[in-house]
Structure 1
Amino acid sequence: MKGVLLVNLGSPKSPEPKDVKPYLDEFLMDKYVIDVPFLLRALLVRGIILRKRPEKSAEAYKKIWWEEGSPLIVLSKRMHEKVKAKAEVPVALAMRYGTPSIESGLQELADKGVTEVLLFPLYPQYAMASTLTILVLAEEIRKKKFPQMTFTDVPAFYNKPDYIKNLSDSIQKHLKGFDYDLLLFSYHGIPERHVRKTDVTKSHCKIDGSCCSTPSAAHQFCYRHQCYETTRLVVEQLGLPKEKYRQTFQSRLAGDKWLEPYTDIEINKMPGEGIKNLAVVTPAFVADCLETLEEIAMQANEDFKANGGENFLAIPCLNDDENWIETLVKWIDEWAFAEKTVV
């Protein structure tokens, strides 16, 4: 019997430091997130970062927390319920960090007799700190707890026509009535070394301005290429002229060189360039979360206006948009009734 496990990032149980700290510990101690040797990672995370970061992060979570709980969890559950109601096979939901766990999601499917699982990371673009860590952990759990199961992994869907249409339609809908000077595509950042580590050719990814547009086998796992390709396809779908859009990367950490240009720096400069009305979309996420609701809709909004900007629009993620739900169900059913996935 076939079934599906949708997997998103996760969230603390509450916006209190006591719950934020263990969540950050699980997240930052992941070797695919901070990819340094264990002892150094433990020193950085538990000896330095977790001394002050939980309190600061808790304050950010408090700004966005809903009565029902974490926006990411609430929105993911809404999406899951709609997909589950329409799909022809069992569908479970899990988070890479926190709850519901990947193990509990697989157990839910196993209890229904599922032995063939479509493992579906909810990330349009592939990255070792998002997609890969889900696939690795799920396989570890499968071997230990569910050896009777087999997995089919959903590849990055950054360039799939259905997804591009859903994203483009959502942007167009939210831009209606907003006289914008610029549409900014802001993707979550990653360290440049992550791009090089996932380069299967070990030589293509130079991050030099041309490698992402030069055909290569490396693009299958290149986050940077996939972000630029998502933007290109959406711009093509919407018919945007070059001067009406830009692309940046957000959420960087100090210490390493991350993908550039940086969202916060670019947004702060825009009013001085004559950009007074700014719309921002965040296509690295399918559900709104801390990075979209606090970092963009609140902080970037405030900074833009403090530097002379006038109107700011944060375009919501796809969340439980009905067209997006239909796409997810379509992909799931195509896999469920075919020998090979066509997602």
Structure 2
Amino acid sequence: MKGVLLVNLGSPDSPTPKDVKPYLDEFLMDERVIDVPKWLRNIIVRGIILQTRPKKSAEAYKKIWWEEGSPLIVISERFADKVKKQSEIPVALGMRYGSMTIKNALSELSGKGVDEVLLVPLYPHYAMSSYETVVVKTMEVKDEFFPKIKITTLPAFYNNRDYIKVLSESIAAGLKGFEYDHILFSYHGIPERHIRKSDPTKFHCKIDESCCKTNSVAHHTCYRHQCYEMTEKVKENLGLSNDKVSLSFQSRLPNDPWLKPYTDFEFERFGNEGIKRLAVITPAFVADCLETLEEIAMEGKHQFQEAGGEDYKHIPCLNDNEAWVNLMVKWIGDWQTKETLPV
């Protein structure tokens, strides 16, 4: 029997340092997030970051926490519930980090007689710290606890024509009535070394202005290329002019080269250059979360206006958008009946 496992990032159980600390520990101790030897990761995470970061992060979570709980969890559950109602096979939701574990989700599916699973990492792009770690963790859990289950993984869908259409329509709806001077596509940042580590050729990715535009097998696992390609496809779909659109990367750690340009630097630059009305899109995420609701919608607005900007609008993620739900149901149906996956 077939079933579906949807997996997103995860969240602390509450916006308190007590619950944020173990969540951050699990997240940051992931070797695909902070990819240094374990002894060094222990020093960085448990010896330095976790001494102060939980309190600061808890304060950020409190700003965006809903009465029902973590926005990411609530939105993901709404999305999953809608997909379940329209699907003919069992659907379960798990998180890479936190108490809503992948193991529990697979157990739920197994208990319903499922022995063939479509794994859906809820990330449009491939990155070792998001898409890849979900796949690796799921396979580890499967091998240890559910060895008879067969798993097929949905490919990254950053350039899928139907997904681009759904995303573009959602962006257009968010922009309706807003007179913008500029649109910023802000993607989650990753260290530059992750790009090189994910390059199967070990020579193509130079992180310059040429490699992302030169066709290569490396693009299948190159997060930077995929962000640029998604931006271009949405621009084309919506008929946006090049001079009014740009791209940046957010959420970096200090003392390490991450993908540029940096989103917070761009907010300051826009204000200084006289851009008064800014719209910001966060298409690395399918559901609004701390990085979109606090870092972009709140802090980003403050940074932009401090630099001289005036009108600012964050365009929501797809969340439980009906067209997005319908597309996921279609992908599931195609896999269930035709054994095909989106390309």
Q: TM-score normalised to the size of structure 1?
A: 0.99
Query: What are the within-5 Å matches in structure 2 for residues 37-186 of structure 1?
Result: 37-186=37-186
The structural deviation recorded for 1:338 is 1.6
Structure-1 separation of matches of 2:57 and 2:23: 11
Structure-1 separation of matches of 2:228 and 2:162: 17
**Matched AA of 1:125:** H
Kept after mapping to 1: 8 A contact 2:157/2:342: no
Gaps of at least 5 residues in structure 2 are none
The structural deviation recorded for 1:339 is 2.9
**Matched AA of 1:93:** L
Kept after mapping to 1: 8 A contact 2:155/2:342: no
Query: What are the within-5 Å matches in structure 2 for residues 15-34 of structure 1?
Result: 15-34=15-34
**Matched AA of 1:327:** L
Tell me which stretches of 4 or more aligned residues in structure 1 moved more than 4 Å.
none
**Matched AA of 1:109:** L
Kept after mapping to 1: 8 A contact 2:183/2:279: yes
Structure-2 separation of matches of 1:209 and 1:217: 17
2:304 counterpart SS class: helix
1:337 counterpart SS class: helix
State the Cα deviation string for residues 92-114 of structure 1 (Å, max 9, x = none).
00000002100000000000100
Q: Which moved more, 1:147-156 or 1:266-275?
A: 266-275
**Matched AA of 2:173:** K
After superposition, the CA RMSD in angstroms is 0.7
Structure-2 separation of matches of 1:329 and 1:295: 31
Are 1:313 and 2:321 counterparts? no
Structure-1 separation of matches of 2:335 and 2:52: 45
Structure-2 separation of matches of 1:266 and 1:334: 41
Structure-1 separation of matches of 2:65 and 2:339: 42
**Matched AA of 2:315:** I
Indicate the residue corresponding to 2:189 in structure 1.
Answer: 189
The structural deviation recorded for 1:269 is 1.3
Indicate the residue corresponding to 2:241 in structure 1.
Answer: 241
Structure-2 separation of matches of 1:6 and 1:328: 10
Indicate the residue corresponding to 1:257 in structure 2.
Answer: 257
State the Cα deviation string for residues 198-239 of structure 1 (Å, max 9, x = none).
001110000011100100000000000000000000000001
**Matched AA of 1:133:** T
Are 1:212 and 2:212 counterparts? yes
Structure-2 separation of matches of 1:146 and 1:155: 22
Indicate the residue corresponding to 1:339 in structure 2.
Answer: 339
Structure-2 separation of matches of 1:340 and 1:146: 24
1:266 counterpart SS class: helix
Structure-2 separation of matches of 1:162 and 1:108: 30
Structure-2 separation of matches of 1:340 and 1:298: 41
Structure-2 separation of matches of 1:340 and 1:299: 42
Kept after mapping to 1: 8 A contact 2:160/2:342: no
Kept after mapping to 1: 8 A contact 2:25/2:46: yes
**Matched AA of 1:78:** R
Structure-1 separation of matches of 2:175 and 2:339: 40
State the Cα deviation string for residues 117-172 of structure 1 (Å, max 9, x = none).
00100000000000111111111111111011001011100000111011100110
Kept after mapping to 1: 8 A contact 2:249/2:263: yes
Aligned residues between the structures? 343
Structure-2 separation of matches of 1:117 and 1:138: 11
Gaps of at least 5 residues in structure 1 are none
